Amino acid sequence: MKPSFKVALVVLGFVAVLSWKTISRTDSALQTKEVPLLPVTHEQADPTTEFPDRFPLQVAVLWTSPDTSPENPLALVHSLKEMGIPFLITRNLGQALKHRLVILYPSVDSHTFNQAQAEQLTTFVRQGGYIFAQNVFWGSLKDLFGFREFEPSRKRYHVAFAGTDPVMKYLNRPEERETRLGSESYPEIFWTNGYIPGSGAVVLAHFDDGSAALLTNTVGKGGVYLLGLSLVDVVLRSQSNRDFEAERHYVNAFEPGADVWMLILRAWYEAYANDWVRLATIPQGQRSALLLSHDVDWENSFAPGRDFAGIEKANQANSTFFIQTKYVDDANSKAFFFEPNLGILRELKAGGSSLGSHSVIHSRGFNKFELGSGQETYATYRPRGLGFDTASGATVFGEVRVSKELLDGEILGQDTIFFRAGHLRVPVSLPEALERSGYQFDSSFTADDVLSNFPYALPWGLGFDEDSRIYEFPVTIEDEESPGFAKRVPQALEVILANAENGAVSVLLVHSNESAQKAAAEQELLRQLPHDIGKSDMLSFARFWRARDRLKWSVTSSSVPSEVVLQVSTEESVGGLTFEFQHPISAVSNGATLSPDNHHVVLPELKAGQAISFHLSLNR
């Protein structure tokens, strides 16, 4: 090296040290990849055209909300899609009653039907039809739905299930037999309607005041189920984290408070549909999946990541590392998004791990940040944590966009589409910031907090009106709560098993700040995991879930007796899609495979845009 060059390096180094004090020692060194700001897209399709009548097995949703003030069916759409139940939405009673299973949604009052239609409904049930409804208020339908009176209240906080009924098939655990609607620290929560049953009706769940929350009535060859609350409040409100602190734990426990209502719908469908078929929640015919993840949010959290990746590899698994792209020093930590840490990330990715963003400054105040302009870039974005939960110069867009800019710029082949907020703090603008910055997936809630263990479409603005294009994968088990993950492996396994019984998933978050104890604990968990529970990194499973959620499918009979035709069309490439059948299948076509129990058909790898049919022989 020439002496003059050496001098130049020393001078450069001196300048760098000086500027580190004010900005960062890596400030000018990082590579970026531009993150285009996408326009807001509202896919406001009419639900009746989005979910058309296509085959007899579909559950017919009669959308009863008046045109003038349409209460949208989003909560029910979430429930049916997540459970893999085929359905259509219509405003036409005659069309709905051509199907054996009908859901009246969101309510029935004296304006919904005329007297002739009430008689049509009663005849439908007498002749073997099944109706599931919530909030029926009309006197003319009291006999059909099996109630004498109802009492509205905003002071009911608990639901307890009682007795046995086919719709409670999946409610076997104490956490499922009793759920909480809200915390009693609120003088009032959402409206519920407690029913007084008529003679012959059977009460399946009570509110705390003894009134019926769920009842069933058998009429002729069919029957009805009536719910005294709305899925908006027990499913969608929880998923948007607008609940009245209904959760009994924050993390690391089994909390199915929203899931029980979806599982009741699933069990209702499986009890009363003829020759039912369901799109399974888990790929490859497995019972459940454990999704592995690590948060890298400290300067010493990079190197131990190799140990985690190593034990995962040894257990035929991979994980997703969520990386904090800390390039500024602030009150919370020094910058650490530079070499050799970046080299470790490249190594992890090359080894099969996937990478997501864990924000830039990892602020406890992230949920209170302004959305920002969407023009934030690494060149100009200079956020700083100031104290416990305060920051300057930080925005939601900045945290989301600049971290992606850096990860995509520094790691070859990286396209960051998965996000997890620091401290799991979630601003209401997060779905917008993520969607407009090209993300697809988020894992910033805990499953206990949103009372659900199934992935779901994250509503825009964390509201009740429409979905964003982001899917949420809430964290089930983490490593930091006392007495620490290493001492909680049996408890974690129990939660995973409880979710597996429902076909739900479990998400594991282990910080990679040390690997001596935590990697051993993860190794022990993986070793004890039952063989029918899959292990996956979060990104691979999320891609599966997105394709599954957008899949169009139908099952119809063919000209051959005892044969059905399963037709699917997928927007995205996907492997392992699984359909569950009530009756055993004896033969499959077109590269599909049959699980050992003969009730699950696993489809071959499908290409984006592919439409394909499978002929399946039923063994009735």
Binding site for Zn ion (CB under 5 A): 295, 297, 422
- Tell me whether residue 295 or residue 405 sits nearer to Zn ion (CB atom): 295
For Zn ion, the closer CB: 283 or 422: 422
Q: Closest Cα partner for 134 from 148, 155, 150?
A: 150
Q: Between 112 and 443, whose beta carbon lies closer to Zn ion?
A: 443
Minimum distance from CB of 297 to Zn ion (Å)? 4
Cβ 298 to Zn ion shortest distance, Å: 8
Distance CA 201, CA 219 (A): 10
Q: How far is the CB of 311 from Zn ion (least distance, A)?
A: 21
Contacts of 7 (CB under 8 A, 6+ apart): none
Distances (CA, A) of 132 to 49, 227, 269, 459, 531: 22, 8, 10, 25, 36
Work out how close the CB of 291 gets to Zn ion at its nearest, in angstroms, rounded to a whole number.
Answer: 17
Residue 237 makes CB contacts below 8 A (sequence gap 6+) with: 190, 243, 464
Nearest-approach distance from CB 425 to Zn ion, in angstroms: 10
Smallest gap, in angstroms, from Cβ of residue 321 to Zn ion? 11
With b meaning 16 or more CB within 10 Å and e meaning fewer, what string describes 516-554? eebbebbbbbbeebeeebbbbbbbbbbbbbbbbbebebb
Of 222 and 422, nearer to Zn ion (C-beta) is 422
Do β-strands 477-478 and 288-296 pair in parallel, antiparallel, or remain unpaired? unpaired
Residue 295 CB, shortest distance to Zn ion, in Å, is 4
Measured CA to CA, the distance from residue 607 to residue 614 in angstroms comes to 15
Of 422 and 474, nearer to Zn ion (C-beta) is 422
Cα–Cα distance measured from residue 507 to residue 505, given in angstroms and rounded to the nearest whole number: 7
Q: How far is the CB of 358 from Zn ion (least distance, A)?
A: 6
Q: Which is nearer to Zn ion, 243 or 479 (CB)?
A: 479
Q: How many whole angstroms from its chain centre is CA 344?
A: 30
Q: Residue 191, class by beta-carbon neighbours within 10 Å (0-12 exposed, 13-18 middle, 19+ buried)?
A: middle
The residues, any chain, with a CB within 8 Å of residue 454's CB and separated by 6 or more, are 82, 259, 262, 281, 504, 505
Nearer to Zn ion, 432 or 479 (CB): 479
Whichever of 365 and 422 has its CB closer to Zn ion, that residue is 422
Shortest separation between residue 512's beta carbon and Zn ion, angstroms: 11
Residue 550: phi, psi to the nearest 5? -100, 0
Please give the DSSP secondary-structure letter assigned to residue 233.
Answer: I
- CA distance linking residue 338 with residue 345, whole number of Å: 10
Contacts for 369 with CB less than 8 Å, ≥ 6 apart = 363, 391, 394, 395, 396, 399, 427
- The secondary structure element, H or E, covering residue 192 is strand 192-197
**Which residue's CB atom is positioned nearest to Zn ion?**
297
Q: How many CB atoms within 10 Å of residue 92?
A: 13
| Minimum distance of Zn ion from residue 350's CB (angstroms) | 24
| Residues 6 or more apart whose Cβ sits within 8 Å of residue 300 | 513
Sheet holding 611-618, edge to edge: 552-557, 563-569, 611-618, 585-587
Q: Helices 341-350 and 303-314, interaxial angle, to 10°? A: 10
Angle 301-304-306 from CA coordinates, rounded to 5°: 125
C-beta closer to Zn ion: residue 336 or 614: 336
**Cβ burial 198-230 (10 Å sphere, 16+ → b, else e):** beebbbbbbbbeebbbbbbbebeebbbbbbbbb
Residue closer to Zn ion, measured from CB, 422 or 503: 422
Name which of 173 and 364 has its Cβ closer to Zn ion.
364
Nearer to Zn ion, 295 or 307 (CB): 295
Identify the residue whose tokens are 């439409």.
Answer: 611
Q: Which is nearer to Zn ion, 233 or 295 (CB)?
A: 295
Computed over its alpha carbons, how large is the radius of gyration of the chain?
Answer: 26
Question: What is the 3-state secondary structure of 345-369?
Answer: HHHHHHCCCEEEECCCCCCCCHHHC
Q: Which is nearer to Zn ion, 84 or 474 (CB)?
A: 474
**Between 146 and 365, whose beta carbon lies closer to Zn ion?**
365
Minimum separation from the CB atom of position 339 to Zn ion (A): 22
